[in-house]
Structure 1
Amino acid sequence: MKKYMNPRLWVGLRPVKATLETAKLVFFYGKSFDEQRKFALSKAVDILEQEEFDNAKPTVIYLHGYIEHMEIESIRVISEAYLKRGDHNLILVDWAELADGNYLLDAVPNAMKLANLLADTVLELINNGLDCNKLHIVGHSLGGQLSGQMGRKIKEKSNNTIKLKRISALDPAFPPFYPGWIYKPLGKRDAELVDVIHTDAWLYGAPISTGTVDFWPNSGKTLQPGCPKRNYKMLSDNDLCSHRRSWWFWAESVAAKDVKSFPAVKCKSWDHFKEGKYDEEAPIAYMGIDCPMNVCGDYYLQTNGDLPYSKGQSGITYVPKVKTSQRK
């Protein structure tokens, strides 16, 4: 396995103490980001009793990543995409205090403990009427690994009678989940469909295929189109650009309610995609919210370097990069 490129992350930031009780569920009940109500995990069933909660709609639970919080751009972009779409119950897990501090000594162990508690919470919601078949878990980075652990705990606690319908992991965190000696990574058995978007593989994101279906836009690695050359100031906007591109792709697919975005083709590798060698018998799959339930394997595509990121059907035909020196 390749050497991890950001060893400083293993050392982490300042230590911080937080308890599981600091985690909250945020229910978005209106059309704007500010229309939200917070609930303790122990009061989760109260969400089902809210006048604005519609059990006929799909419910999405979003899990943010390391050192993220309610005021950060990713949460607002993801939330506003769902609010624009208007056909989901949107619940966000605010675990900002637990996702802070030293990555390896604080945030990762906290995520694993929280997964156990969230599994209890979701099972309680299901037992009180939440439609499990319409529940979708979406997680970014460390939140992606948290979602996998949560799915496993739900199966375990229900004696394998309940399995999540779908988990979508947006560039799930790399360290310390691969090769899996310390913590078991997100896997295809954690839900009926585990779809993964890779945008920073081998750096902050998972280095290998880890779901039912794995999408590798622009090879799935840094640098994603439109991202500046990394200066390797750890966790800076510059450093995180490719890692963050996964949730930008997701949000765009969610907001485009009437159009399926990001078509992709099944290939054995990025080199095969570049050569036009794709599996002609496999269906086209759409990266993002419209990913079908019946696909598996590795899918490839190209995107634009800025909004809108989806190239539509042209994204499934490789176009070489234009070198800077060749531009007029």
Structure 2
Amino acid sequence: MDSATSNFSTVLVPALLRAEDLNVIVVDWSRGANAIRYREANENTVRSGAAVARFVNWLNQQSGSSLTQYHIIGHGLGGHQAGVVGRNLQGRVPYITSLDPALIGWATNINKFRRTDGQYTEVIHTNYGMYGYIADLGHMDFYPNGGISMPGCDSNACDHARAFFYMAESVTSGGFTGRQCINYYAAVLMMCSGPRTSRMGGLIPKTGETGVFLLETNAAPPFSLG
């Protein structure tokens, strides 16, 4: 329901630009996202995602760029929309990140985020069961603090937003080491002791890796415990 100047953009875009010499394209679909009925907003998520894919194809034709250069990131409804974009690009985008993808209207929605939407897909869950989707959806799913209640937050909106704050910090300073879980049930119960660890977020796709991971964070920046 936000615009191009939302906190998602003001937090994440500067972090991306500090981290690497790159271009950031921000999608403002606020007219479609602010539909009076939530069902319409969900439908517009899919329409807008398809439109973004058409734009990407046009941009590549005009500029000589290729899909290998793209990293698509979305939050909330945009978390599913990022997948729709990748899907309309035949799953050839190398890296797609879904930040606390929306729950309402998506549990049985055939258009929800899928691991096959990109060559590597990652999901960060910070408010499952309220604003965010609970189950694992990507090649790798991270559940900071169990995926629902973030340290330093006193509202679901704050928990939901933590996903893009964590992502922003991950691209500038790394950190956020997760421990492997048997499944997402173990992650939400914070009972994970698998042999593998993996870094959450960042600019480099972890292509070929899969799994569910749990990690803990600080209540204030820097959020990473290392």
Q: Secondary structure of the equivalent of 2:27?
A: strand
Does residue 166 of structure 1 match 2:95? yes
Structure 1: 4+ residue segments shifted above 6 A? none
- The change in CA–CA distance for 1:264 and 1:90 in structure 2 (over 3 A counts) is same
User: Who is 2:35 aligned against?
Assistant: 101
Confirm or deny: 8 A CA contact 1:285 1:295 kept in the other structure: no
Q: Where do 1:153-232 residues align within 5 Å?
A: 153-155=88-90, 163-180=92-109, 183-221=110-148, 223-228=149-154
Q: Where do 1:47-66 residues align within 5 Å?
A: none
Aligned identity (percent) is 29
Which residue identity does 2:116 align to in structure 1? R
User: Who is 1:63 aligned against?
Assistant: none
Distance 1:247 1:103 in 2: 25
* Among candidates 140, 156, 159, match of residue 239 of structure 1: 156
Deviates more, 1:107-116 or 1:207-216: 107-116
Confirm or deny: 8 A CA contact 2:147 2:188 kept in the other structure: no
Q: Secondary structure of the equivalent of 1:127?
A: helix
Distance 2:42 2:212 in 1: 27
Q: Where do 1:134-149 residues align within 5 Å?
A: 134-149=69-84
What TM-score results when the alignment is normalised by the length of structure 2?
Answer: 0.90
Distance 2:96 2:214 in 1: 19
Confirm or deny: 8 A CA contact 2:39 2:105 kept in the other structure: no
User: Who is 2:212 aligned against?
Assistant: 298
Q: Secondary structure of the equivalent of 1:139?
A: strand
Distance 1:271 1:168 in 2: 20
Counting matched residue pairs gives 221
Deviations 1:109-160 (A, max 9, x none): 21111122112111222334113112110000100101111211221xxxxx
What TM-score results when the alignment is normalised by the length of structure 1?
Answer: 0.63
- The change in CA–CA distance for 1:291 and 1:130 in structure 2 (over 3 A counts) is closer
User: Who is 2:10 aligned against?
Assistant: 76
Confirm or deny: 8 A CA contact 2:126 2:150 kept in the other structure: yes
In proportion to residue count, which structure has more helix? 2
Structure 1, unmatched stretches of 5+, are: 1-66, 156-161, 229-237, 313-328
- The change in CA–CA distance for 1:271 and 1:68 in structure 2 (over 3 A counts) is closer
Query: What RMSD over aligned residues (CA atoms) do the two structures have, in Å?
Result: 1.8
User: Who is 1:288 aligned against?
Assistant: 201
- The change in CA–CA distance for 1:295 and 1:272 in structure 2 (over 3 A counts) is farther
Distance 1:111 1:249 in 2: 24
Distance 1:185 1:271 in 2: 21
Q: Secondary structure of the equivalent of 1:91?
A: coil
Distance 2:167 2:129 in 1: 20
Q: Where do 1:93-132 residues align within 5 Å?
A: 93-128=27-62, 129-132=64-67
Confirm or deny: 8 A CA contact 1:285 1:292 kept in the other structure: no
Q: Which has the larger radius of gyration?
A: 1
CA positional deviation for 1:288 = 1.1
User: Who is 1:308 aligned against?
Assistant: 222
